[in-house]
Structure 1
Amino acid sequence: MNNNFINITAENINEEHLCCIIRTKKLHPGVEAKRRWLAERLKEGHVFRKLDAKATVFIEYAPLETAWVPIIGDNYYYIYCLWVLGDFKGKGYAKGLMEYCIADARAKGKSGVCMLGAKKQKAWLSDQAFAKKIGFEVVDSTVDGYELLALSFDGTIPKFAAAAKEQKIDNKELTIYYDMQCPYVYQTIEKIKQYCETNEIPASLIEVASLAKAKTLPGVFNNWGVFYNGHFETVNLLDVAALKRIMNRK
């Protein structure tokens, strides 16, 4: 078992691999967009810890006050991502990364650690069953089944921002909120933009480019949220076929 882990820093960010799946020797626009986004977040206490190997083994978290998520609370860490894939599963890496985050939170006097979950596990969410085994509990939820999980050290709890729980907007046209935390967002938004322009589909593609904007998002997820006819549709990245299905609904 490889126990060599490294944290991304201002000194090594330009050399280290940053994506869960994308691997290429050439510069990938999505990965480079992520790199630029992360470089700014490191200044705010953001932590990206990864196995020092060609692997998908990492955790990404930040102080809740500066985490780009529509979640409100004091003195917490927010876990964006915790992933262990492929041959590295079942070797204790996820537990080790979570223990690192929790220990870091305790060492810095935090009130706890929180993360996004759902009543039914979503493919793009970190394993909530694993988190609950460690002691995370549901402290807030939305009407469509998303949950805020928290491991509280002192009895205080965070909560979803009011707008995130409503998951509605006034704009009736296709609306997508996005940021560059996920390396797949760049290529997806470019494809959607091109399709909408070619087919003259009115669309509002709104980049979340500030912490203030992220904290007031009308949906629970920070880097991708699709709305149509004023209603929340999905946090899944769309291909053209999926977009057509959404827009053809009565």
Structure 2
Amino acid sequence: MNDSGEIITLNKENIDAEHICCAISDKKCTEGYLKKKEWLKQQVSKGYVFKKFNVKHKVFIEYCPSDIAWLPITAPNYMVINCFWVAGQYAGKGYGKRLLENCMKDSIDKDGIVVLTSNKKKSYISDKKFFIRQGFEVCDTAPPYFELLVYKNNPNAISPTFNQSAKENVCSNKNGLTVYYSNCCPFTEYYTNTVLRELASREGISLEIIKIDNKEQVNDLPSAFSIYSVFYKGKFITHEILNETKFNKVIDGIKNGVY
């Protein structure tokens, strides 16, 4: 594959042959990579869009109409950006802007576009500063650091909001760790069901894993981030996928009374 300015849109004819950017070389995440592809196949048939540059790195955008979006938000007649990633070596070269322009063109008949960001730059979350520069503005917030940004085609449209469950940000399980995850990301399957299970067992901490399988589950999530969220005794800890290093930091925080 040669690097080029070509943008490829995944569809049922090419999705098996095309890479989906994430976890390309991480052999541990092969199962998650395949499950992400299966998830994409189901969603593309409903109107989900995955566009990427024809390069070997992560330069892509995923978006869909709000009625099929896997975010705990209320945003009728909006387009929702689900994932947006431009690898460092491509940053500042117009790749991100071109991908967003594609989304905007596909959103002409919508009231606008919504994207989940955070008040400070966080891993796995789209960069707020980029979207602010493109004319987006904050329309709602959810604890502890999530922000919902909107770009309106219709200035009179009702602004999108987080659902109440995301605003409450409290998990019903008050014992040990609780993890919510979906196959929207190829990394979650391995790091949840293999790594986290082993680490929690090692520390003797109870672990409840809740897999998000459908849009209906997403609506009532206790976290604004439907891809992966970790709670301890009902309190939100992080949206970042826990490897051993990050898990150990969480354990340190538990032992020191931070959580």
TM-score by length of 1: 0.93
1:33 shift after superposition: 1.3
The Cα of 1:249 is off from its aligned counterpart by: 4.1
Question: What is the rounded CA distance, in whole Å, between the counterparts of 1:209 and 1:231 in structure 2?
Answer: 23
Q: Give the aligned partner of residue 248 of structure 1.
A: 255
2:54 aligned residue: 52
Partners of 2:96 and 2:72 in 1: CA distance:
25
Long gaps (5+) in structure 1: none
Is the contact made by 1:21 and 1:56 (CA closer than 8 Å) also made in structure 2?
no
Residue 243 (structure 2) aligns with: 239
Alpha-carbon offset, residue 128 of structure 1: 1.2
What is the match of residue 150 of structure 2? 150
**By how many angstroms is 1:178 displaced?**
0.2
Q: Structure 1: how far apart are the matches of 2:29 and 2:217?
A: 29
Q: Paired residue for 1:174?
A: 177
- Between 1:81-90 and 1:23-32, the stretch displaced more is 23-32
Q: Is the 8 A contact 1:20 1:83 kept in 2?
A: no
Match of 1:103 in 2: 105
1:165-199 deviations in Å (ceiling 9; x for gaps): 11102211210000011111111012112233455
Does structure 1 residue 225 correspond to structure 2 residue 232? no
- Does residue 1:194 correspond to 2:198, yes or no? yes
SS at 2:107 equivalent: helix
Query: Counterparts of 1:85 and 1:71 in 2: how far apart (Å)?
Result: 27
Q: For residues 168 and 234 of structure 1, what CA distance do their matches in structure 2 show?
A: 12
In the TM superposition, residue 81 of structure 1 has moved relative to its aligned partner by 1.5
Q: Which residue is 1:216 aligned to?
A: 220
Moved more, 72-81 or 194-203: 194-203
Q: Among residues 23, 35, 38, which one is paired with 2:37 in the alignment?
A: 35
What is the CA–CA distance in structure 1 between the aligned matches of 2:146 and 2:74, rounded to whole Å? Answer: 15
| Counterpart residue identity of residue 161, structure 1 | N
Whole-angstrom CA distance in 2 between matches of 1:246 and 1:204 = 19
Q: 1:249 to 1:25 in 2, by over 3 A?
A: closer
8 A Cα contact 1:224 1:237, kept in partner: yes
**What is aligned with 2:112?**
112
* C-alpha contact 1:19 1:183 (8 A) present in aligned 2: no
The secondary structure found in structure 2 opposite 1:28 is helix
Which residue number corresponds to residue 66 of structure 1? 68
Q: Is the 8 A contact 1:233 1:246 kept in 2?
A: no
Q: Shift of residue 248 of structure 1?
A: 2.3
Match of 1:203 in 2: 207
Alignment equivalent of 1:22, drawn from 21, 24, 46: 24
Deviations along 1:41-79, one digit per CA (max 9) or x if unpaired, are 112211000112212111011111111111111011111
The percentage of counterpart residues that share the same residue type is 35
Q: 1:25, CA displacement in angstroms?
A: 8.6
How large is the Cα RMSD of the aligned pairs? 1.9
Change (3 A) 1:245 1:65: farther
- 1 CA distance for matches of 2:29 and 2:241? 21
Q: Please report how far the alpha carbon of residue 229 of structure 1 lies from its aligned counterpart in structure 2 after TM superposition.
A: 1.3
Matched to 2:200, the amino acid is: C
**Deviation at residue 126 of structure 1 after TM alignment:** 1.5
Q: Distance in 1 between matches of 2:245 and 2:256?
A: 13
Q: Are residues 141 and 32 of structure 1, via their aligned partners in 2, closer, same or farther at CA, if it must alter by over 3 Å?
A: same
